[in-house]
Structures are given as structure tokens and as C-alpha cells.
Amino acid sequence: MYSEKVMDHFTNPRNMGELENPSSVGTVGNARCGDIMRIYLDVDENRVIRQCTFKTFGCGAAVAASSMATELVKGKTVEEALLVTNKTVMEALDGLPPVKVHCSLLAEEAIHAALWDYAQKNNLKIDGLQKPGNGIHEDGGEEY
Ligand code: FES
């Protein structure tokens, strides 16, 4: 049911935990399953993401998706990180079962929320970045 990569990132998550003095933090949740994901970014003066970590209170797929998402955004500029979508995360994980697609969406939203927080704190406009909702969104997606 789960790919080897999903199992690998679930059993051996990368970049798990809080960041001390992060540049920004984004927290999102899914009201239907109750899972919550938080992403921490450390961004340098060139707007490159030096470090990205996560804390996820949720299912195994959400843990794997957060772990992969942190790996994908590390080393990217904040603008490039915006292009990491749930599809990117799913592809990098060699897929997720349909009922778990929303878990990867949570990862995309958590990154966006952290990028938004960064933009706010630095008076920056990141093209294409939209203000996150209230942090906890209700839409679990049709496939849930
Ligand atoms: Fe809700 Fe995975 S994030 S079940």
C-alpha cells in the first residue's frame, strides 16, 4: 500500500523537531482528521532556506510528507520553495494512496504558511503566495 520511500521517511523522518530561533513558522491543520503540521524555516540574507524542520501530530503519511517536504525546500530560495507543491511531495515519495493525498496537501500548506510568515516579518512580497486561512483549514479534499 505504501511505497518504500514513504515507509523510509515515516520510520526515519528527516529534519524532525523544532528550530531554535527560526526565521518563520507555519502551522496548519486538517479539521476532518485532526492532524496538525508545523514547519520551521531558517532563511539566510539571500533568502535561501538554510534549514527546514517540522513537527507533525498526525498520521504516518503526514509524517512522511513533512519529512520529504523539508528535504525538498532546503537549499531553495523562498521563491523556489513556493513551487514545491503536494504533487512534488507525492512524486518524491513515489505516490500516496488516494485517501492519503490530503496528507501531502497539509505539507504544501504548512510550507506556504511558513513562507507567508517569513514574508510578513520581512516586509516582502513573494509572487503567487497567498495568505493562509486561519491556520486550520476544513477542506480535507474530495479524496478523503
Ligand atoms: Fe490527515 Fe494524514 S494528515 S490522515
- Summarised one tens digit per residue, pLDDT across range 116-136 is 999 999 999 999 998 887 555
pTM, entire model: 0.92
Please give the Cα distance from 73 to 92 (Å, whole number). Answer: 12
Biggest CA-to-CA distance, the chain: 44
> How many other CB atoms sit within 10 Å of the CB of residue 36?
18
Please give the Cα distance from 52 to 137 (Å, whole number). Answer: 22
Please give the Cα distance from 29 to 96 (Å, whole number). Answer: 19
Give residue 128 CA to ligand 1 midpoint distance, Å. 26
| Ligand 1 pocket residues where CB is under 6 Å | 30, 33, 35, 58-59, 61-62, 100, 102-103, 106
Give the model's pLDDT for residue 143.
Answer: 37
For the question of residue 59 being annotated catalytic, the response is no
Burial label for 93, CB within 10 Å (0-12, 13-18, 19+), is buried
The pLDDT confidence band at residue 48, using thresholds 50, 70 and 90, is very high
Is residue 141 over pLDDT 50? no
Is residue 92 over pLDDT 60? yes
Residue ranges per structural domain of the chain? 4-121
What CATH number does the domain located at 4-121 have? Answer: 3.90.1010.10
